Amino acid sequence: MFTRRTLLGAVAAVSLLAGATGAGAADKLYVPLISKGFQHQFWQAVKAGADKAGAELGVEVSFEGPDNESQVDKQIDMLAAALAKKPAAIGFAALDSQAAIPLLKQAQDAKIPVIAFDSGVDSDIPVATASTDNIAAAALAADKMASLIGDAGKVAVVAHDQTSRTGVDRRDGFVNRMKEAHPNVEIVTIEYGGGDHLKSTEITKAILTANPDIKGIFGTNEGSAIGVVNGVKESGAKVVVVGYDSGKAQKDAIRDGTMAGAITQNPVGIGYETVKAAVAASKGEKVEKNIDTGFFWYDKTNIDAPEISAVLYD
């Protein structure tokens, strides 16, 4: 979690803002995006979309995130540094939906529009949120899992966290759908691997050891899903794996049958729409509060279909 030192330093940095939004150079608008991470291919695809919008709209865009998705402290420092540059607007994907609110309040007071992306913030400060409907997407993952295991049996969830909006919504979307529509499917455990594939691998192996009769495991993001795949492979278990996001490793796992299928978001669209909304908001234009960037189920049967391949990423 973030420390008192970090938060006080961050707030002090933002308090230097004079209240006027600015541009990076000449009259070019500056829009920084502070991501939840940078290591997964998902975030590289979000960056590609942000850069595309920046080029089309003629604005300066920067994109950065901590080394892994457990570094709330580091993300808070990045947010403070970006806001201290007086950007025209800012995009923010919160690792902890509560931790950044004091800083975002400072941005609001300085009249810097905040656009949430991927993960929302438990606050009305963001003028818009560009994201997947994660509750609906995870519910679809639950339906697919239930179908694949004969609508009965034990399953588990390996989630990336329980502090971000995506972590909570994907967990709850999956769990609640199972309870409502698939009463003969039992969720035996929910574990958290921080989106780290190595940690998620070890968690998966422990789940399989404790539940030798388990039929399926759902991984809630790229790192979690790859960790589940690796844990299943290393254990030699026969388990239905359902994932979230894409990336080369997940696509390979689906092609070779290790993963049954996954939910893919539209990461390029998330980055693009974030910058587009940020520019509009900085000009005082009205923006849609909730920008739904869509999701799809993909498996061996449709992975090469044009509408699916367009939203997969390497």
Q: Set out the domains of the chain in order of their start, with CATH numbers.
A: 4-132+267-293 (3.40.50.2300), 134-264 (3.40.50.2300)
Segment 37-41 shows an average pLDDT of 83
304 Cβ contact partners less than 8 Å away, ≥ 6 residues apart: none
Nearest to 147 by CA among 48, 261, 13: 261
pLDDT digits (tens, 9 = 90+) for 150-205: 999 999 999 999 989 999 999 999 999 999 999 999 999 999 999 999 999 999 99
Q: What pLDDT score does 121 carry?
A: 83
Site of tokens 């089309």 = 56
Q: What is this structure's pTM?
A: 0.81
Mean pLDDT estimate for the chain? 91
Q: What pLDDT score does 249 carry?
A: 94
pLDDT digits (tens, 9 = 90+) for 246-269: 989 999 999 999 999 999 999 999
Chain-centroid distance, C-alpha 118: 5
**256-259 long-range contacts, Cβ below 8 Å, gap at least 24?**
257/300, 258/229, 258/232, 258/233, 259/225, 259/229
Task: Dig out the tokens for 125 from the structure.
Answer: 């400060």
pLDDT digits (tens, 9 = 90+) for 112-164: 999 999 987 888 999 999 999 999 999 999 999 999 999 999 999 999 999 89
pLDDT digits (tens, 9 = 90+) for 1-11: 444 444 444 44
- 3-state SS class at 215: coil
**pLDDT for residue 278 is more than 80:** yes
Helix spans in the chain (H)? 4-15, 41-57, 72-84, 101-109, 134-148, 165-181, 197-210, 222-235, 248-255, 267-282, 306-309
Q: What pLDDT score does 12 carry?
A: 44
What are the beta bridge partners of residue 260? none
Nearest to 160 by CA among 122, 200, 201, 118: 200
Q: What is the DSSP string of 131-163?
A: E--HHHHHHHHHHHHHHHTTT-EEEEEEES-SS
Segment 95-123 shows an average pLDDT of 92
Q: What pLDDT score does 301 carry?
A: 97
Buried b (16+ CB within 10 A) or exposed e, 113-144: bbbbbbbbbebebbbbbbbbbbbebbbbbbbb
Query: Who wins on pLDDT, 52 or 68?
Result: 52
Largest Cα–Cα distance in the chain? 64
Segment 100-116 shows an average pLDDT of 96
Q: What pLDDT score does 19 carry?
A: 42
**pLDDT for residue 18 is more than 60:** no
